[in-house]
């Protein structure tokens, strides 16, 4: 098989809670709108759990998280740990929201806590959870976001190519990615790495500088970008103990942030350093939040979960390029549908001598490199 045909090796077909009597605001029961009767009977409690998770969700979720048998009430309490409140209860903290809005938010939080793995949801369930997240954001901030859950389209398999000859190390792609994907502003939560390497010494990533602060391009150096490669045989998916990450039909490897338990097995398994862990709560200034979001993409994350490049699923599934592709001033980045014989990505793979990193591992990354 010739070097520029290697892409053909891809499989292209393929609680109960007692009222405290006082609030953090200092007011006693009855003085704050957040106080309400929250104790429920055992029967009401069990009925609420049955409605919230159901037998199928118990089997799919609890048995994966806890490799032991336990009754539903015990599993419920272990997961909630006092974060949830009974049916009809209200928020236990003072808020600018009205009593009715507090009740609505509590109900949303309840339902979100017990939703199933996104991968297992029906389209109606996906729409329901997206609608709840949008409403929850509105109740918390008074502002509105647009969140979608588009599924993979038929006859689409996304691929990416990187022209080493054209990259000048400007890092416009990195900045665009951070802004588009609502990445934490207080850490190096960057999906894309641009590695500065010395000419004539090959691809020595262990000696490369990916945190440079000088004028580029630097004489005697070349630049090479890495990120999640959306492998056709992703090792990160294989090691996840709760099936919080998987490969979609269009080739995107995604994460259900609400199902992720933060074990970081996937991070260790990725041979390309493509995954990032939230050691603290991500912070994005309200005015900088990209409000055009996808459930599996750039919606706001939380402390203790993994995240990574999604090829900008919120854009790519609408027929747009990932933000990094459009931001590159030299045209070094190429993205498209591998199944479209007229796409630019197909032309590159069929007419350029391309290669992929660590091909001997059999991960089949859908990210190629080439030179002019």
Which secondary-structure segment (H or E) carries 335?
strand 333-337
The pTM (predicted TM-score) of the whole model is: 0.73
Domain boundaries, the chain: 42-148, 153-372
Nearest in space to 216 (alpha carbons), one of 172, 169, 173? 169
Please check the confidence at residue 78 and state whether its pLDDT lies above 70: no
Q: What is the pLDDT of residues 158-179, one digit of tens each?
A: 999 999 999 999 999 999 999 9
Q: What is the pLDDT of residues 96-119, one digit of tens each?
A: 456 777 777 676 676 666 567 888
Query: What pLDDT, on a 0 to 100 scale, did the predictor assign at position 183?
Result: 98
* Chosen CATH of 153-372 out of 1.10.3720.10, 3.30.460.10, 3.30.70.20, 3.20.20.70: 3.30.70.20
Tokens representing 79?
Answer: 């997961």
Alpha helices in the chain (DSSP H): 42-57, 63-65, 72-80, 99-113, 123-141, 172-180, 235-239, 265-269, 313-316, 323-327, 344-351
Q: For residues 140 and 134, give the distance between their C-alpha atoms in angstroms, rounded to a whole number.
A: 10
Q: What is the pLDDT of residues 253-299, one digit of tens each?
A: 999 999 999 999 999 999 999 999 999 999 999 999 999 999 999 99
Q: For residues 351 and 255, give the distance between their C-alpha atoms in angstroms, rounded to a whole number.
A: 34
Query: What pLDDT, on a 0 to 100 scale, did the predictor assign at position 98?
Result: 62
CA atoms within 13 A of residue 268's CA, in its CB half-sphere: 6
């Amino acid at each position: 098989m010739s070097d520029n045909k290697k892409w053909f090796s891809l499989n292209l077909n393929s609680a109960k809670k007692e009222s405290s009597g006082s609030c953090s605001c200092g007011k006693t029961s009855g003085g704050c709108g957040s106080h309400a009767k929250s104790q429920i009977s055992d029967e009401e409690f069990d009925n609420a759990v049955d409605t919230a998770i159901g037998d199928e969700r118990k089997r799919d979720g609890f048995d994966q998280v806890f490799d032991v048998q336990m009754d539903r009430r015990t599993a419920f309490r272990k997961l909630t740990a006092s974060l949830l409140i009974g049916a009809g209860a209200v928020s236990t903290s003072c808020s600018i929201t009205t009593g009715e809005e507090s009740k609505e938010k509590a109900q949303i939080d309840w339902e979100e806590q017990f939703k199933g793995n996104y991968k297992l949801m029906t389209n109606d369930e996906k729409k329901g959870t997206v609608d709840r997240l949008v409403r929850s954001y509105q109740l918390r901030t008074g502002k509105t976001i647009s969140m979608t859950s588009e599924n993979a389209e038929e006859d689409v398999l996304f691929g990416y190519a990187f022209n080493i000859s054209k990259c000048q190390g400007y890092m416009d792609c990195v900045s665009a990615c951070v802004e588009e994907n609502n990445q934490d502003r207080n850490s190096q939560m960057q999906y894309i790495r641009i590695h500065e390497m010395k000419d004539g010494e090959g691809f020595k990533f262990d000696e490369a500088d990916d945190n440079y602060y000088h004028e580029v391009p630097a004489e005697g150096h070349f630049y090479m970008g890495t990120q999640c490669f959306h492998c056709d045989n992703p090792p990160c998916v294989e090691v996840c103990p709760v099936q919080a990450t998987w490969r979609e039909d269009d080739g995107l490897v995604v994460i259900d942030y609400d199902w992720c338990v933060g074990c970081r097995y996937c991070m260790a398994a990725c041979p390309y350093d493509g995954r990032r862990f939230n050691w603290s709560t991500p912070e994005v200034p309200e005015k900088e939040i990209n409000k055009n979001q996808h459930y599996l993409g750039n919606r706001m994350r939380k402390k203790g979960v993994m995240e990574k490049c999604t090829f900008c699923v919120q854009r790519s599934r609408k027929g747009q390029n990932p933000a990094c592709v459009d931001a590159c001033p030299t045209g070094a980045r190429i993205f498209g549908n591998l199944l479209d014989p007229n796409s630019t990505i197909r032309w590159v793979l069929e007419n350029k001598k391309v290669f992929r990193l660590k091909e001997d591992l059999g991960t089949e990354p859908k990210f190629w490199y080439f030179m002019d």
